[in-house]
Amino acid sequence: MPGPLRRVTGSRSDETVTFGDLSRGAYCPRQLYHARKEDDREPPPDATDRIELAFRYPSLLDASDRELREAPIDVEPDAFRRNLARLRTRDDWDELASPSRTRVLLSGKDCRGIAHKIVGDPGVPTIVSPGTPPDQGTWNHHRVRAVAAAKALSWEQTRQVSTSFVEYPAHGVVRTVELTTRAKAAYRSALRAVRAIDGPPPRANDARCEGCEYSQACGTRTRSLRSLLGI
């Protein structure tokens, strides 16, 4: 087991970035630029409702089909129960289902933000997403946010935290993020990009623009799949 970390001499960076800004910047720096400009960085109510599912796993396991259909889940009740049943076989199920530490503010050397849960002892940080997971692993911007949480917890507790979790409670899925060389490189790249924003970054003009709340202000021209295929 790794020994305790030694902090690098010096104080925290003056450009401490929030987990939310880092994640949005990893997804689309221009979207972050507009969110900062409009001071609009709070999650919408439907996203908050989905995040709350991560704190209701035990009751959702026993919920009826009707109750689950009224909940903000993205899969059919039977599939959702199967996913939760798989989660229940994990060694850390008790802490995932009934965490003793929730919504913990972490302040690291470069980033700060909320870990929705700290699971186990000495603890692994969990980030909860209201969205849909990829077939394998996590989306890059979620992975970057999870790495930020692990590094902030490492800084606070002066110990190595090499793992974090991303929960997708609307699907009953939890994914593990290992702090690999590649994952940490993506985190550093996102951190540099966010700190460098002092004007509108280049437009994305790709699938990320579809449904983006800032597409009109951004000036992107989105095209349907039919038009892209020339249909």
Residue numbers of the domain that contains 42: 17-200
- Work out the average pLDDT over 159-182: 97
The verdict on 230 and 160 lying in the same domain is: no
> Cα–Cα distance between 105 and 116 in angstroms, integer?
9
163 neighbors 1 (Cβ within 8 angstroms): no
Query: What pLDDT does residue 228 have?
Result: 34
Residue 89: give its domain's CATH number.
3.90.320.10
Query: What pLDDT does residue 35 have?
Result: 84
The verdict on 111 and 215 lying in the same domain is: no
The verdict on 117 and 92 lying in the same domain is: yes
The verdict on 49 and 145 lying in the same domain is: yes
The verdict on 82 and 189 lying in the same domain is: yes
The verdict on 78 and 41 lying in the same domain is: yes
The verdict on 186 and 208 lying in the same domain is: no
The verdict on 115 and 216 lying in the same domain is: no
Q: What are phi and psi of 129, to 5 degrees?
A: -110, 140
- Work out the average pLDDT over 175-197: 96
* pTM for this entry: 0.85
The verdict on 216 and 188 lying in the same domain is: no
Residue 140 placed within a domain: yes
Residue 11 placed within a domain: no
- Work out the average pLDDT over 177-193: 96
The verdict on 52 and 145 lying in the same domain is: yes
Query: What pLDDT does residue 10 have?
Result: 44
Q: Quick check: helix, strand or coil at residue 117?
A: strand
The verdict on 23 and 65 lying in the same domain is: yes
Residue 104 placed within a domain: yes
The verdict on 216 and 172 lying in the same domain is: no
Residue 9 placed within a domain: no
Q: Tell me the pLDDT tens digit for each residue of 88-128.
A: 999 999 999 999 899 999 999 999 999 999 999 889 999 99
Q: Tell me the pLDDT tens digit for each residue of 196-211.
A: 988 877 777 777 888 7
Residue 195 placed within a domain: yes
Residue 91 placed within a domain: yes
Residue 170 placed within a domain: yes
Query: What pLDDT does residue 220 have?
Result: 54
Q: Tell me the pLDDT tens digit for each residue of 44-58.
A: 788 999 999 999 999
Confidence band (pLDDT; 50, 70, 90) for 14? low
Which of 143-157, 195-209, 215-229 is predicted with the least confidence, judged by mean pLDDT?
215-229
Residue 6 placed within a domain: no
Number of independent structural domains in the chain: 2
> Cα–Cα distance between 122 and 31 in angstroms, integer?
36
